[in-house]
Amino acid sequence: MQRKAHILLIGGSGERSGVPRHLEFLTEALCEEAMLTVCTDLDEGGYSFLQDRSGIQWKVIRGLKTSLNPLRGLSAVLKIRRLIRQGDFDLVWAHSRMAVLYLRVLVRVSFLPDCVTYAVTYHGLPFTRGRSRRSRKIAVWLERFLSSGGHRVIPIFLTGGQMRAWSRATRCAAEGVVLGNCSRIQPKPARADMPNIVMTSRHSPQKNLLWAREIFKHLPAAFTMDLWGAGTQAPDLAAAFTARLDRGAMERLDFHGPTQDIAEALARGACFVLTSHYEGQPIAALEAMEAGLPIATPRIVGMGEILDRHPLAATLSLQDAKADAEAVARVTLAYLSDKEMWNAKIRQAWQGNFSYEAWAPQAREVTFGRLMPHVSED
C-alpha cells in the first residue's frame, strides 16, 4: 500500500490573483493522492476555495503578502521554519514572491530538515525588463547567492522561456521543471457584434495600462474598450486617459473596476489586450483564450507559449502605438468576420493546451514523479 505524501503549499497575499488560482487547481489535482497543508496570508477572497475543500489544513501566517516591513518578514520566516520543522512534510513548495524568498533563505542557511524536498515556483521573474535597473541587479545577485550552497531547492517555472531567462540571468544551470498555468471560467456565449476591446488587468505599473491608452488613441472610432480589474475604477487612471484622449474617445471607454464574473466580462469583448511589461504566464490571457477571443499581447517572457498556440493572436511592440493599434484592429476585425468559426477554433486550441483537463495530469506527474520519487510503499 502506497502511503500518502504530506505536502505543504505556501502561498502569499489573500487577494484574487494568479497564485491563489494556481493553488486552487493544484490542490484539486493533488488532494486525492496526498495530504495537503496550505499556508497563506489573510484571505481577501483569493483563497475562499479552501473553505470548501475537506481534508486540507489551512494555516494563516501574516507577512506572506509582499511587504517591506522587516519585522513582519522576520516573523513570517520564523513561523514558516517552525511549521516545517514540526510538520513531517515530504514536500514543501513555495509559490508567492515572499514565500519563495523566505523558503530559499531558510534553505540557504541550513535551518531546515534534510529529509524534505524543497521546491519553489517562479510565478514571475524578479529581474525581467520593465523593472528598474537597480532592482534587477539586486535580484540577480540575490538569485545567484541563494542558488549556491545549502540544501537543493528545485526551481519550477511556468514556461520553458522563463526557465531559460532565469538560467541566462543567474548563470546557473536550471535543473528545474516546467509546470504552467491553466484556466477554468466556464465561458458564456460570445455576444460582441462590434469591435470591443476587453482588458482584465489590475491598475499597476507592471500592467502598463497607459500603453492601452496609446493604442486606443490610434484605433478607428468604431472601437470601444472595457477595462476590468482592481484599481481600473480609480480616478487617477481615468484622469491619465483623459489627458491624452479627446472627449469622443473617452465616451467609448468604460472603467469598471474589479469583477467577480470574468466570464461575463470576456463575453462582451471581441479582442483581449494585455500590455504588461512582464508576466509569469498570465492566467488572464488563458481565460481570454478559453472564452474564444483573439488576443494581442507583447512577446514577453511567459507569453511566447500562449502566442504560439493561439490561432488568432497579435504581438504588440509596446513601442509603436500606431503599429500596435493596427495589429489589434486586424485580429479584432478578423474575429468579427466569422465569430463562430474563430471562437470554436480558439477554444479547441485552449482545450488541448491550457484546460484543467490537460493540465492536471502534468501537475500530478511533476509532483509525484519529479519532486517526490522517494515517497514509496511502506
Q: Which of 229, 232, 333, 204 is nearest to 287 (CA)?
A: 229
pLDDT confidence of residue 54: 80
For 326-378, the DSSP string reads: HHHHHHHHHHHHTHHHHHHHHHHHHHHHTBHHHHHHHHHIIIIIII-TT--B-
Is residue 274 within 8 Å of 200, Cβ to Cβ?
Answer: no
Per-residue model confidence as pLDDT tens digits over 163-219: 988 888 887 776 679 999 999 999 998 888 999 999 999 899 889 999 999 999 999
pLDDT confidence of residue 377: 45
Can you read off the three cell numbers belonging to residue 111?
535551518
pLDDT confidence of residue 16: 83
- Rounded CA separation 266/292 (Å): 9
pLDDT confidence of residue 51: 87
Q: Which residue has the higher pLDDT, 131 or 97?
A: 97
- Rounded CA separation 320/74 (Å): 44
pLDDT confidence of residue 134: 83
pLDDT of 1 higher than 60: no
- Rounded CA separation 80/300 (Å): 33
254, burial (CB in 10 Å: exposed 0-12, middle 13-18, buried 19+): middle
Compute the average pLDDT of residues 93-107: 93
pLDDT of 320 higher than 60: yes
Per-residue model confidence as pLDDT tens digits over 245-297: 999 999 999 999 999 899 999 999 999 999 999 898 999 999 999 999 999 99
> In the sheet where 295-298 sits, what is the strand order?
253-257, 224-228, 196-200, 271-273, 295-298, 313-316
Q: Which CATH class is domain 5-182+356-371?
A: alpha beta
Can you read off the three cell numbers belonging to residue 346?
480558439
The CATH classification number of 196-353 equals: 3.40.50.2000
- Rounded CA separation 311/292 (Å): 10
Tell me how far the alpha carbon of residue 231 is from its chain's centroid. Answer: 18
pLDDT confidence of residue 378: 45
Compute the average pLDDT of residues 115-138: 84
pLDDT confidence of residue 8: 97
Per-residue model confidence as pLDDT tens digits over 216-251: 999 999 999 999 998 999 999 999 999 999 999 999
Tell me the pLDDT band of 369, cut-offs 50, 70 and 90.
very high
Domain 5-182+356-371 and domain 196-353, same fold? Reply is yes
pLDDT of 306 higher than 90: yes
In the chain, where the domains are located: 5-182+356-371, 196-353
pLDDT confidence of residue 150: 52
- Rounded CA separation 234/86 (Å): 45
pLDDT confidence of residue 303: 93
